[in-house]
Structure 1
Amino acid sequence: MAATPPVCDFGWKAVDFTLPATDGRRLSLAEVAGPRGTLIMFICNHCPYVIAVRDRILRDARELMAMGVGVAAISANDAAAYPADSFDNMRKLAEEQAFPFPYLHDADQSVARAYDAACTPDFFGFNSDLELQYRGRLDASRREAGPPDLRRDLFEAMKQIAETGQGPRDQIPSMGCSIKWKGAA
């Protein structure tokens, strides 16, 4: 089922976490944060919205990381109900796709709940003080990738945050599959 997150709550402070990563480490928010901003993405393996733009997510993450923005992805879906989103499958996907950022597993869904994550993908862009400045879409793609020349909403917003500490005031929410909460089926 498609879901849309709420608009950006400017200044909301990022909630700390420590989660297992697909590379065998356990990482905290401080360890993934960048000196010029931090992007936390809630994604998963099976969502058609994520699959449609995964190459763009990877492209934007690489470019943002080169600018000093820390990037991490979190999967919080109920892996018992959605086996494609299991930790083993997360590990395989991260290796196959050469994720340049940590892919973290929120097995108890506490981090997704603390962030009020609504869908996959759901993007949270923070400034260097870990204050929320962007909660919008990657671009105008939906279940299928849009044309390659689409405005890069997420990239442009995070670039602005890295340069000024402030996100754009006009933001269009992301849209994707709802988070698969445990016990919701």
Structure 2
Amino acid sequence: MAVSTPVCAFGWKAPDFILPATDGQTYRLGQVAGPKGTLIMFICNHCPYVLAVLDRILRDARDLQALGVGVAAICSNDAQAYPEDGFGAMAEMARVRDFPFPYLHDAEQSVARAYDADCTPDFFGFNADLELQYRGRLDASGRAAGPGDARRDLYEAMKQVAETGQGPRDQIPSMGCSIKWKPAS
């Protein structure tokens, strides 16, 4: 089921986290934060919305890192119900696709809950003070990749954040598959 993200809550502070990554390290928010801003992305291995734009996500992540924006991706899906989103599969995807950022595993789903993540992909763009400035889409893509010349909404917004500390006031929500929550116990 397709889900859209809510409107950006400007100034909302990024919750800290400590999560294991597919590179064998463990990261806190401060370790992935960049001097000009930070992009936290909730993605997963199996979502058709993520897979349709993964090359664009990787391109934009590299371009934003060159601007001083720190980038990390988090998979919070229930790996028991969706084994393709398990840690081993995450590590394989990060290796094969040469992720330029840490790919973090939120097995307890506490970070997704703290961020109020709704879907994959869900993009949280913070300024240098870790205040939310962007919660919108990557570009005009949906379940299939949009045109090759589509405006790079995420990149342009985070470039503005890196340069000014402020995100654009007009943002189009991201759309994707809902986070696959574990059953309530």
**Fold match, TM over 0.5?**
yes
| TM-aligned CA deviation for residue 75 of structure 1 | 0.1
Tell me the amino acid that sits aligned with residue 16 of structure 1: D
| TM-aligned CA deviation for residue 126 of structure 1 | 0.1
| TM-aligned CA deviation for residue 63 of structure 1 | 0.4
Tell me the amino acid that sits aligned with residue 150 of structure 1: A
Query: Which string of whole-angstrom CA distances, capped at 9 and with x for unpartnered residues, describes residues 21-57 of structure 1?
Result: 0000000000000000000000000000000000000
Q: Distance in 2 between matches of 1:61 and 1:5?
A: 20
User: Secondary structure of 1:53's partner?
Assistant: helix
Tell me the amino acid that sits aligned with residue 75 of structure 2: S
> In the alignment, what sits opposite 2:38?
38
> In the alignment, what sits opposite 2:15?
15
Q: Distance in 2 between matches of 1:81 and 1:124?
A: 26
Q: Distance in 1 between matches of 2:92 and 2:14?
A: 28
> In the alignment, what sits opposite 1:86?
86
Q: Structure 1: any 5+ residue segments left out of the alignment?
A: none
> In the alignment, what sits opposite 1:25?
25
- Tell me the percent identity: 77
User: Secondary structure of 2:30's partner?
Assistant: helix
Structure 2 residue 155 is the aligned partner of structure 1 residue 155: yes
> In the alignment, what sits opposite 2:63?
63
User: Secondary structure of 1:176's partner?
Assistant: strand
Tell me the amino acid that sits aligned with residue 44 of structure 2: C
Structure 2 residue 169 is the aligned partner of structure 1 residue 169: yes
> In the alignment, what sits opposite 2:95?
95
| TM-aligned CA deviation for residue 60 of structure 1 | 0.2
Q: Which runs of 4+ in 1 moved over 3 A?
A: none
Q: Distance in 2 between matches of 1:97 and 1:20?
A: 19
Tell me the amino acid that sits aligned with residue 2 of structure 2: A
| TM-aligned CA deviation for residue 71 of structure 1 | 0.1
| TM-aligned CA deviation for residue 5 of structure 1 | 1.1
User: Secondary structure of 1:70's partner?
Assistant: strand
Tell me the amino acid that sits aligned with residue 88 of structure 1: G
Query: Which string of whole-angstrom CA distances, capped at 9 and with x for unpartnered residues, describes residues 145-184 of structure 1?
Result: 0110000000000000000000000000000000000007
User: Secondary structure of 2:89's partner?
Assistant: helix
Tell me the amino acid that sits aligned with residue 148 of structure 2: P
Q: Over aligned residue pairs, what C-alpha RMSD do you find?
A: 0.5
Q: Distance in 2 between matches of 1:9 and 1:15?
A: 14
Q: Distance in 1 between matches of 2:89 and 2:107?
A: 13
